[in-house]
Amino acid sequence: MPVDPHAVTSPVLETVALACERDWRLLFEGLDLSLHGGDMLQVSGPNGSGKTSLLRLLSGLMRPTSGEVRLNAQPLDKLRGELARNLLWIGHAAGIKGLLTAEENLAWLCALHEPAERAAIWQALEAVGLRGFEDVPCHTLSAGQQRRVALARLYLDAPPLWILDEPFTALDKQGVAQLEAHLARHCEQGGLVVLTTHHTLALTPSGYRDLDLGRRAA
Ligand SMILES: Nc1ncnc2c1ncn2[C@@H]1O[C@H](COP(=O)(O)OP(=O)(O)OP(=O)(O)O)[C@@H](O)[C@H]1O
């Protein structure tokens, strides 16, 4: 059977007895998660409960106090190149450089895992409602438009695992509804999404679940 080069490889993301301590404060411990392609995990909880910290651990941006994170059965710290190919991280600061245009920002962000063609970048910007803003320096865009530039990466040839910290920040109602639908579609197609948001999702995929860090506080 011919292999489809665009098929999403179903990711498996696991944590084993994960613990996180910051500034001598234990945020959580004994966290065991097993997430597969098709799942969406919404990490919720009050300010300071450790949501961003957990996402940073899952992305390999921070090391756990104890325990382990595994992607496709491999410990994260052994997976540098493969991690970049499999994971898309969008932090809660949009990560957009003000002096670069929307197109230039996307070109260098994509280069981290899969360089993108100009036509594909313009299509992604159109998908997030930024047609006509491709050549504009990003410092002249509104907060919501800058967030849309960052989110346009989700419309390019994105890897299967998306880890998104407060992706709905600054989006208008239409932007929120469109992003919810896009995330649910990614999961229904075999992708995996882990996100934080204080917003109640109106649309979730069948593999949705919630982890409330407030309720399992250490
Ligand atoms: N860079 C840092 N250095 C030391 N401690 C930190 C750092 N960033 C966060 N913390 C601490 O870790 C704890 C959890 O922070 P984190 O950002 O993970 O919470 P959060 O649940 O995402 O909060 P929010 O809802 O406000 O975004 C807080 O007590 C915070 O003070």
- Atom 12 of ligand 1 has which residue's CA nearest to it? 22
Atom of ligand 1 nearest to the CA of 45: 21
In this structure, the number of other CB atoms found within 10 A of the CB of residue 127 comes to 17
Query: How many Å apart are CA 106 and CA 101, to the nearest integer?
Result: 9
Per-residue pLDDT for 2 more than 50?
no
Atom of ligand 1 nearest to the CA of 25: 29
Distance 52 CA to ligand 1 centre (A): 7
Residues 6+ apart with CB under 8 A from 42: 195, 196, 197, 201, 208, 209, 210, 211
Tell me the average pLDDT of the chain: 90
Position 171, amino acid: L
With the most atoms of ligand 1 within 8 angstroms of its CB, the residue from 21, 25, 51, 165 to mutate is 51
ipTM over the 0.90 cut-off: yes
Q: What's the pTM?
A: 0.92
Q: What fold is seen in the domain 12-212?
A: Rossmann fold (3.40.50)
Higher pLDDT, residue 62 or 78:
62
The pLDDT tens digits of the residues spanning 76-107 come to: 988 877 887 889 999 988 788 999 999 999 99
Tell me the percentage of the chain whose pLDDT exceeds 90: 78
Every domain of the chain and the residues it spans: 12-212
Local confidence band at 217 (pLDDT 50, 70, 90 cut-offs)? low
CA 12 to chain centre: 15
Pocket of ligand 1 (CB under 6 A): 22-23, 25, 27, 45, 47-53
